[in-house]
Amino acid sequence: MTTRIDRRFAALTKAARPALVTFVTAGDPDHETSLSILRALPAAGADLIEIGMPFSDPMADGPAIQAAGLRALKSGQTLKRTLAMVRAFRAGDDETPIVLMGYYNPIYSYGNARFLADAKEAGVDGLIVVDLPPEEDEELCLPAIRAGLNFIRLATPTTDDRRLPAVLANTSGFLYYVSIAGITGTAAPDTTAVADAVTRIKDHTGLPICVGFGVKTPNQAAAIGRVADGVVIGSALVEAIRTSLDEAGRATEGTVPAVTGLVRSLAEGVRAARQIAAE
């Protein structure tokens, strides 16, 4: 079955350019503002959207995304409201792929079968669950695939050629390559090392490879876009939200434009990546 993610990457391949994948936390800084940001992302240049599912113990996330999750939880965001947000987004956009990213605990608490049914009905296209290894595929990965959702796995600089087949076994949509060891948003990626890793992984799979963690500027996005099929931006967007808030932590008139303005500049960098490489 062809998914929105498959169709989007097929179109990008035809256009000979990498994807800009944007990450925002659902409900940050509040539900309505978060939905407004979500709706504005495609026009600003986002090709795929990852939505973080807020969780109280986000062990792989750096300070920026941890703080976003806490703001969202404080504002009353729940997994049910996150799915409602996707449903509201789909009312005006039936093309842009949506991937939910986060941890297994909220899904488990919601109920796996119920979650997968509700996610599919809401218009979710894929899942990234960072704390479920391939050895646990029967738990959620395989049921998600049967429900028609892509299950997207992470590979890291420590994922060697012996481990890679297990990581890729039930992965679909794309592979998310974590460009640095450690938590999100804490260091800049080494483009040469990323290029070597992408080349090595492509010997094992025909899936698109998107690279994230540490990409913050248009120049970094362009550099990664020259060697990868997609560039994931997360912490920089979450920081743009934070710095736009008032002293009480509430959204201002500048919150949505702060995010969309940054996305536009990052999109320009990503779109220029292959042009620069061809010159």
Which distant-in-sequence residues (6+ apart) come within 8 Å of 48 by Cβ?
Answer: 5, 8, 19, 20, 21, 22, 96, 97, 98, 99, 230
Sorted by where each starts, the structural domains of the chain and their CATH numbers stand as: 4-278 (3.20.20.70)
Please report, to the nearest 10 degrees, the dihedral formed by the alpha carbons of residues 234, 82, 149, 57 taken in order: 60
Q: In the prediction, which pLDDT does 69 show?
A: 93
Assess whether 95 carries a catalytic annotation: no
| pTM for this entry | 0.94
Q: Annotated catalytic residue: which of 61, 125, 137, 239?
A: 61
Q: Distance between CA atoms of 17 and 170, rounded to whole angstroms?
A: 26
Which DSSP state fits 187?
Answer: S
Q: What pLDDT, on a 0 to 100 scale, did the predictor assign at position 111?
A: 98
Is 50 a residue of the active site? yes
What does the DSSP 8-state code read for residue 164?
Answer: H
Rounded Cα distance between 119 and 84, Å, is 9
Spell out the alpha helix ranges (H) of 147-254.
164-168, 191-202, 218-225, 235-244
Name the active-site residue from 28, 30, 47, 50. Answer: 50
Do 115 and 79 form a contact (C-beta atoms < 8 A)? yes
**Which pLDDT value is given to residue 279?**
46
The pLDDT value recorded for residue 278 is: 46
Low-confidence residues of the chain, pLDDT below 70?
60, 181-188, 274-279
| Token pair belonging to 32 | 């309505």
